[in-house]
Amino acid sequence: MDCEFSERSLIMVPGPTNVPERVSKAMMKPMISHRGPEFRALYKGIIENLRYLFQTEGEVFVLTASGTGGVECAVSNLVNPGDKVLIPVFGLFSERMKEKIVRRGGSPLEIKLEYGEAPTADQIEQRLELEEDVKIIAIVYNETSTGVTVRDLPEIGKIAKERGLLLLVDAVSILGGDTLPVDEWNVDVCVAGSQKCLACPPGLSLISVSERAWKWIERTKRPFYYDLLTMRSFQDRWETPFTPAIPLFYALDEALKMIREEGLEKRFERHRVCSEAFYEAIEALGLEVFPKKEARSNTVIAFKRPTSVDGLEVRRLMRERYKVVIAGGAGKVRDLIFRIGCMGTISAPEVITTVSALEKALADMGYPVKDGASVEAAKRLLS
Amino acid sequence: MDCEFSERSLIMVPGPTNVPERVSKAMMKPMISHRGPEFRALYKGIIENLRYLFQTEGEVFVLTASGTGGVECAVSNLVNPGDKVLIPVFGLFSERMKEKIVRRGGSPLEIKLEYGEAPTADQIEQRLELEEDVKIIAIVYNETSTGVTVRDLPEIGKIAKERGLLLLVDAVSILGGDTLPVDEWNVDVCVAGSQKCLACPPGLSLISVSERAWKWIERTKRPFYYDLLTMRSFQDRWETPFTPAIPLFYALDEALKMIREEGLEKRFERHRVCSEAFYEAIEALGLEVFPKKEARSNTVIAFKRPTSVDGLEVRRLMRERYKVVIAGGAGKVRDLIFRIGCMGTISAPEVITTVSALEKALADMGYPVKDGASVEAAKRLLS
């Protein structure tokens, strides 16, 4: 991957991620009218490649907004006041999704889990047995705040289909980095962000809509900017209803071309191997991975900081002395964990540079590390 | 201005506009974490320069969204279900603003005008005499669809202040191109877009909030992504609540620096002179400017197409043969008018190239033009 390590810092937070020069340079293409033939050709190509990425025959849209805006768009198009929405809450982003449902006037039925755990299909099934009139299951596939992936998502999709419920999935920090065949898994509305596993800059969110979701969307009272029916009517002529962030569309176009060139399977495997290398290295440092083994994410690596060191200081040293930026926790585990983005351009050199910087910073602070052990552990996996 | 004319087309639609190379290149700066010191320094600089641009001591925010998203944010923060909002409707964008109020459950009190006219302070005053319990005046300062500027805005601001009403202004296509001292004119919430008179790429909207608007905002039920109170709490530490479109923030930072270097007064004067040159040239072609003289915009030039020629064909010729892209109408005057953006980098060469392309394309289609007359008319103004 053509990531630049030398002068600039390596951005290893769980989004935004390092952007390949090819993608970055695409933003320099000439400004165009969003109502002209050049834009229509650009947007058509993007949508075709997004269908490949989402593995869907359904409609896909690009919205000028952060991932959070995309999730709000999805919630606003599906949830009407009073609608019951089943939602497992197991981190900051599922908390936020619940809050969006509340602000829409929807009625969230919460399955509350410990941070670090993933909801299971059984838990969903059991709760549905107890409730009447549930309309939607809303789920965060990859909890960016805890490094947890919901491995039962395909089974949850089956449950939704059997019971005639809509399935809304926040895949902001995972789409493009791990398996998510939207049609096969019965996901009705799926939201992703440009700045995570796509290795594209932030500013766009991507939304897929299934055939059966449209009937539902038609009956909701939708806000103007987020109205998916308006987006669909403009997309018939390969336009967006409102002025799109054109340089970011150029970047997305290039990022998607790179994804097609690599192929989804190879890309997912690359993320998986790199994440395992991270987990091995973390354990070699004597640190504890935050989520349970079966719930570990391939795209967001969360682990507990040693209680003996100041987390902010470790990250400052990594950033200033070793030019690698990782994240702390978010939400209620803010001070307890570190998080690393294993996304987009992620490859062996990025993993090793990051692990090495972490090891050195910990050693600088007096935390006992066996010199080079974590890098060796990562290398074994990567070879 | 360092606009490139040679290889690429000149984009003369009313946004997005041509982007100076300096601004465009800024997008290539390294990706950074939006929770780190580099971003905080960047955002702080942007906010300081935005206060200069809006001429306000109040708070200003940057939202990752199109201008329409910014206006929706403003409406969502000010209007609660049932609130009465006085709104003059005189083009597509005021229609849209009304629609957003309706979708929020607000109660728009419409002052309906012909397209091409601007609402007056007297009309506002008279309507307010007839109504009880109005909370907000919502107004589009520059109707992008008709090329009309509301020259009575300062008087309307006085009326709002005297009556204790909030004044919400859509300035998407004018801020940075014409006078709008937000504090002096009693504008409580003002929305602008990055891609118009700022000569920055599209994808960001800019929102100012007055001191007295906050008390009102605190009582509204705000959507999650658009919540100005959340934005304000993050801005205390120079962050945005959700991942910002970092390359566009770099571009905005550079565009704002260019605005400060030029100075607002010189910038407004440049837009004014260029717009007059356009109007003179259009009249020299025997064509009719669409708005009444007192309502003509300095940033969007709207004029009737000759009934004898096909508007789409004129624009196609201009684009393909002469490399200048102008816009047709929008909304219900779609086929009746042409529109030219007189924004951002606008300067004598851009005006002359555009007028010349228009004259030639009309001549190619058999419309009787006096060779070079329109260019001469423009040049007289610009010299």
Say which CATH architecture domain A10-18+263-382 belongs to.
Alpha-Beta Complex (3.90)
| Whole-number Cα distances in Å, A339 to A24, B74, B230, B244, B347 | 25, 35, 24, 19, 49
State whether residue B35 sits within 8 Å of chain A by CB.
yes
Residue A2: its pLDDT value, please? 37
What is d(CA B197, CA B67) in angstroms, rounded to the nearest whole number?
A: 12
Give every residue of chain A whose pLDDT is below 70, as ranges: 1-7
State whether residue A237 sits within 8 Å of chain B by CB.
no
Express each pLDDT in B311-358 by its tens digit: 999 999 999 999 999 999 988 888 999 999 999 999 999 999 999 999
Give start-end residues of each CATH 3.90.1150.10 domain in chain B: 10-18+263-382
Three-state DSSP state, A113: coil
Express each pLDDT in A122-175 by its tens digit: 999 999 999 999 999 999 999 999 999 999 999 999 999 999 999 999 999 999
What is d(CA B315, CA B327) in angstroms, rounded to the nearest whole number?
A: 7
Mutate to test the interface with B, among A17, A19, A31, A200 (most CBs of B within 10 A): A31
What is the domain class of B22-261 according to CATH? alpha beta
State whether residue A8 sits within 8 Å of chain B by CB.
yes
State whether residue B98 sits within 8 Å of chain A by CB.
no
Cβ-nearest to B27 among A8, A16, A247: A247
Give start-end residues of each CATH 3.40.640.10 domain in chain A: 21-261
Residues 6+ apart with CB under 8 A from A5: A349, A353
State whether residue A331 sits within 8 Å of chain B by CB.
no
What is d(CA A153, CA A28) in angstroms, rounded to the nearest whole number?
A: 39
SS3 content of chain B, % helix, strand, coil (to 5): 45, 15, 40
State whether residue A96 sits within 8 Å of chain B by CB.
yes
CB pairs under 8 A between A and B: 182
Instruction: Tell me if the pTM is above 0.80.
Output: yes
What is the domain class of A21-261 according to CATH? alpha beta
What is d(CA A165, CA A134) in angstroms, rounded to the nearest whole number?
A: 7
Does residue A200 contact residue A224 with C-beta atoms inside 8 Å? no
| Whole-number Cα distances in Å, A265 to A262, A271, A272, B35 | 8, 10, 11, 32
Contact at CB, A28 and B25, closer than 8 angstroms: yes
What is d(CA B104, CA B80) in angstroms, rounded to the nearest whole number?
A: 7
Give start-end residues of each CATH 3.40.640.10 domain in chain B: 22-261
Contact at CB, A248 and B248, closer than 8 angstroms: yes
Structure tokens, A65 = 């907004």
What is d(CA A47, CA A238) in angstroms, rounded to the nearest whole number?
A: 9
Cβ-nearest to A72 among B104, B225, B245: B225
Q: B328 - beta bridge partners? A: B338
State whether residue B102 sits within 8 Å of chain A by CB.
no
Contact at CB, A35 and B19, closer than 8 angstroms: no
Structure tokens, B307 = 């009934």
Number of H helices and number of E strands within chain B? 13, 14
Give every residue of chain B whose pLDDT is below 70, as ranges: 1-7
Closest alpha carbon within chain B to A14: B33
State whether residue B224 sits within 8 Å of chain A by CB.
yes
Residue B4: its pLDDT value, please? 38
Structure tokens, A212 = 């059966």
Residue A190: its pLDDT value, please? 98
What is the ipTM, given to two decimal places?
A: 0.95
Tell me the pairing of strands A107-112 and A84-89: parallel
> Which residues of A are less than 8 Å from B311 in CB distance?
none
The beta strand positions in chain A, using DSSP E, are 10-11, 59-64, 84-89, 107-112, 134-140, 142-143, 148-149, 166-170, 189-193, 204-209, 300-304, 324-325, 327-328, 337-341
Does residue B198 contact residue B176 with C-beta atoms inside 8 Å? yes
Residue A47: its pLDDT value, please? 98
